[in-house]
Amino acid sequence: MARAPNMQLAYDAWPEEDRKRWSAANKPGADPFDDCGGAAHLADTSRRALQASYGRVLGFLAAKHPLLLDRPPEARLDRKMIEQYVAFRRPSCSESAIATDLHHLRLALGFICPTADWSWLRAIIKRIAAQAVRKPERYHLVTSEQLYALGLGLMDRAIANASESAHAAKECALDYRDGLIIAFLALIPLRRRTLAALRIGKHLVKSGELWSLDIPAEDNKTKRPLEYEISAHLSGRIDLYVAQYRSRIAGAAAHDGLWACNFGRPMDAGTIYDMVRRRTREAFGRPVNLHRFRHAAASLWSSQDPANVRGAKDLLGQASFGTTERHYIMAQSRIAGRALAHAVEKVRK
């Protein structure tokens, strides 16, 4: 498959009318009773995805049909034009990627041209998605208990090496940190941006002998607060990291980020992602993406406690569909985290 061309039209290069409408659609309200844009409720990641898809179709029009950009946004795209756009994307994109891109485009068009009927585009998206070649489900190949064991192994190796050589302090600290991240994710599979944003004393707090997570709504993709109680075993590992290993990483004292890196700042989401892929590739022969931790957690729960598998939704911090679930998601996430930790320990023993 050919490399995808960089065809996205930058926001500053959009036609003025498009920028005006998109800005109005994303206008926030000071409180629930204020007038706000139709897209104001979107998470930043969702907003960026919609903007990127709309920018790509504008880039296509600018390259192939520049005169159409002089028309109003609702008068540029029809079935024939979408057919040309899809044909243009196919050499460098899979059918599933095209379907996702068109889905984001349709949502963006709904905010920019709210009075136009885009239902015909939804039917096209469904047909393209139905024809897409399905990738085999491979989530079962790596389980939560395997990931947890990998994390423990890295930490144990760091402890052993640190006791043998004082010259390997930094390397041991990085091994311990990486192992703790992997074990942490095996029990509490947070989204990577939430994981990278964790701060000691703010999100990670100590209560008695145990650590717990208190994640406010603004730091979670679904805009719902989450609370997790960390198991005694993992709390002990965190104690050792905070007391001994974190300080060995250069610049860690300059910030309160939980996951310190060598550049005097917390690890960002991309760095954590790359580290986990590298460590899991070394251990399993193939990389494990951070999202696979979430699938592994749900799979383990379904096999160990199928009667209560709906609780996996709370563990993953996903949006609920019922009033009761919306009101009790904080309490349920605490119970969910404890249940997964128990399942992992049960399998290991």
Residue with more model confidence, 185 or 6: 185
C-alpha span between 113 and 74 (Å, rounded): 6
Q: From residue 164, how far is each of 50, 169, 239 by CA, in Å?
A: 53, 10, 21
pLDDT at 196: 93
CA-based diameter of the chain, in Å? 72
Torsion of CA 88, 92, 94, 97, to 10 degrees: -80
Residue with more model confidence, 177 or 312: 177
Whether residue 312 is predicted with pLDDT greater than 50 in this model: the reply is no
From-to residues of CATH 1.10.443.10 in the chain: 139-348
144 contacts 127 by C-beta, under 8 angstroms: no
pLDDT tens digits, 32-81? 555 678 888 888 888 999 999 999 999 999 999 999 999 999 999 999 99
pLDDT tens digits, 212-234? 988 887 766 666 777 888 999 99
CATH number for 139-348 (one of 3.40.50.620, 3.30.2130.10, 1.10.443.10, 1.10.1740.110): it is 1.10.443.10
pLDDT at 215: 81
Residue with more model confidence, 81 or 131: 81
pLDDT tens digits, 78-101? 999 999 999 999 998 899 999 999
Residue 9, judged by CB atoms within 10 A of its CB (0-12, 13-18, 19+), counts as buried
Residue with more model confidence, 297 or 12: 12
pTM above 0.95, yes or no: no
